[in-house]
Structure 1
Amino acid sequence: MYAPIELTSRTIFFRPDLRVMVVRWHTHVPLEAVQADYGRMLAAAEQFGFSDWLLDVRRRDQASAELSAWVSSTFYPVAVERLAPRRLRIAVLSSPALADTYRSDPDQRRYVAYVVDDARPFDLQLFADEGQAMHWLSPLT
């Protein structure tokens, strides 16, 4: 029922038992291809009703400011609108190198501060451990 979806830059898996869409990046591609894959990712989330996402970016060793700006200012607001009334919740699983970039690069620091701000109409947290990320996404009981 929930077969993996292979995209240019990532693979989408579904965990219906946890109601989590798992997206694992596997390669770097040009910005336009990444944006197209984000669109396909959102379409899959809409189709199957998944608003809790684990984004595994551990294979990425860099984050472009252009992509971070687009994701935070364009993609996430569109995703929030299209998934409503469900609240979008995103656990980002990062490598140590990428986490260091988020802390040391001024542009990345600004984008991360923006997306993790509680004032946003979505929830996003950064993780180094997949178990902790999945626990954070677990439904509250």
Structure 2
Amino acid sequence: MSLTSSVQFAYRPDLDLFTARWQSLTTGSTTQAEYEGLLQAPEAQGTPHWLLDVRRRPLITVASARWVTTNWLPRAAAQLRPARLRLAFLVAPVRAENLRTDPELRDVMEAAYAPGHPYDLRTFTDEGAAVAWLLGQLE
């Protein structure tokens, strides 16, 4: 099912895994609407294991990263309580490099990865590793 033309949602009951995949390049201006759509997706309800495949998204801006990590993520986690949200971002290697080398983005992401949040967050460039982490098979 898709709430927007650029994002496809799926639920795998065998893995208890919600997946959102961006199917085409979208503009940064659609980020908030797309993420809000994730919170409404029936496939996302009831499972705390979320894989967001953003490999086709453009490089993230600091403002977008800050909004996702400080606004959207806490709301997504609250929606799933008492379960703990475990969210894996699947990113293109160029995006992973950008997250590591841009000082402002690195600061935003390090704050989001820090303990004490009501969610667990990791970024991956390999889907198999992301799924293994979501299912607790990889730390």
Q: Hey, what's the Cα distance between the residues in 2 that align with 1:46 and 1:78?
A: 17
Relative distance call for 1:30 and 1:97 in structure 2 (3 A) is closer
The sequence identity of aligned pairs, in percent, is: 36
Matches for 1:1-141 after TM superposition, within 5 Å: 4-26=1-23, 27-31=25-29, 33-44=30-41, 48-138=45-135
> What stretches of structure 1 move > 3 A for 4+ residues in a row?
45-48
SS in 2 for 1:5: coil
Query: What is the CA distance between 1:131 and its match in structure 2?
Result: 0.5
Q: Hey, what's the Cα distance between the residues in 1 that align with 2:26 and 2:49?
A: 24
Structure 2 letter corresponding to 1:113: E
Query: What is the CA distance between 1:21 and its match in structure 2?
Result: 0.7
Relative distance call for 1:126 and 1:115 in structure 2 (3 A) is same
Q: Where do 5+ consecutive residues of structure 1 fail to align?
A: none
Structure 1 letter corresponding to 2:112: V
Check conservation: 2:28, 2:58, Cα contact below 8 A: no
Q: Where do 5+ consecutive residues of structure 2 fail to align?
A: none
What count of residue pairs does the alignment treat as equivalent?
Answer: 136
| TM-score of the two chains, using structure 2 as the length reference | 0.88
Query: What is the CA distance between 1:48 and its match in structure 2?
Result: 3.2
Query: What is the CA distance between 1:30 and its match in structure 2?
Result: 4.1
Check conservation: 1:92, 1:126, Cα contact below 8 A: yes
Query: What is the CA distance between 1:97 and its match in structure 2?
Result: 0.3
CA RMSD, 1 decimal: 1.8
| TM-score of the two chains, using structure 1 as the length reference | 0.87
